[in-house]
Every structure is written in structure tokens, then in C-alpha cells.
Amino acid sequence: QRGLGLDTVDDSEPDPDVWLDPLTRGSLMHGLYATIMREIRDRQETPDPARHGARLRELGLAALAAHRARVPPPSDAVHEREERELLNDLALFLKFEAEDRGERTPIGFEVGFGGATEGEALGRREPIAIDLGDGLRFKLRGRIDRLDRLADGTYEAVDYKTGGAFLPGGLEATFAGGRQLQHALYALVAAELLRETDPQARVVGSYYFPTR
């Protein structure tokens, strides 16, 4: 296990009933969310299942086909089931977005810091330094799934959770005794990214569960 000085070898057999492991599925969905929402933003439109559903489905099928070319599914039945589930979740995401209009305005998607910015205006190639006071500082690099501006002017750093809803300490826990900090750290990062355009930006962090 990295970080503990131990090396482990995963010699388990692939699950014959699974094609998209959670990491792969999550990565695909994050990319699809960003692509469709950037298209909607750049056209100055609002999310609408009737208008954008076919396009998101097209993007989803293309992403699955590209993945299938690299990693063949264990069977046609598994492929069909997981394709159906992923497309259903994409449709659900678009439904949620359409219902949320007026409450929030997304302004950034997959906003990178300390790496590639993918054309996002708020992204930075340099890591972000977090100042804890008393001379304590550390640098972070990563990617904020999404940054929204809320109706009251507050910003929200949103972290998509496309797997289960079982976070350390449960959904009712804010920081789970220091084990659940991603939303808080990313809110601090977002405040730094926004400093040039909005020096007084108030940022909160949240987890967003957009799948069934």
C-alpha cells in the first residue's frame, strides 16, 4: 500500500459480471458531465432533457465504444446492462440539472490546479498553496469537478460522487473526525482560484450524488 512502504499485488481474477469498474465508470461520467455542461454553457443555454438528452446519449455511446475498443466486456449481456445503466444515469443527471435552474449557475467544470487546465478560465497550472497560519502551508494539486455560483452570490465547489453514498462517517457527518475533508479543501482552493475576479468570494463545498 503506497504511503506505508508496503507493496501489494492484486492477483484476483476479473469479475465476469463487471465491465466498468467504479473508477472507470466514474471517470467516464465525470468527463461526460463536463463535456455536455461546457457545450450548454458556451451556447448560453440552460439544461433541458428534451433539447440536450440526445446529445448526451450520443456522447455516452461514443465514450463506451472507445472504452470497449480498449477493454472488451466479459460478455454482450454485461455490456448491454452496464450501457443501459450508464445511459439512464446520464439522463437522470440532465433531469437534475434542469430542475436546479434558478438556484445555481455552473461557471467551471473539471477545473484543474497544478496541471492541465483544459481551457477552463479559472484553472491554474501551478499548485495552490493553502495557508493554515503560524507559518504552516502546504500545496495541493487536483481538479474541482464543478464550481457553481448560487443565487445569493455564494460559490459552491461541487464534488461528484458517482458510486455509493457511503462516505466516512455517513452523509450526516461534515468532516467525520478529520477523515472527510475533500469538500472543505476544495472550497479553500476555489476561493484562491476566484481571488482575482472576486476577492471577497465566499465558497462552500458539497458532494453531489447524480446517479441512481
Q: What is the DSSP string of 59-75?
A: HHHHHHHHHHHHS--S-
Query: Exposure of 84 by Cβ count < 10 A (0-12 exposed, 13-18 middle, 19+ buried)?
Result: exposed
Smallest CA-to-CA distance from 189 within 134, 108, 118 is with 108
Say whether pLDDT at 171 is over 80: no
Say whether pLDDT at 3 is over 50: no
Read off the DSSP letter of residue 158. E
How far apart are the C-alpha atoms of 175 and 163, rounded to whole Å? 19
At 59-111, the pLDDT tens digits run: 999 999 999 999 999 999 999 999 999 999 999 999 999 987 778 899 999 99
**Which pLDDT score, from 0 to 100, does residue 2 have?**
30
The x, y and z cell numbers of residue 96, run together, are 437534475
The x, y and z cell numbers of residue 207, run together, are 458532494
Distance of CA 94 to the CA centre of its chain: 14
**Which pLDDT score, from 0 to 100, does residue 1 have?**
30
DSSP three-state, residue 140: strand
pLDDT (average), residues 131-146? 92
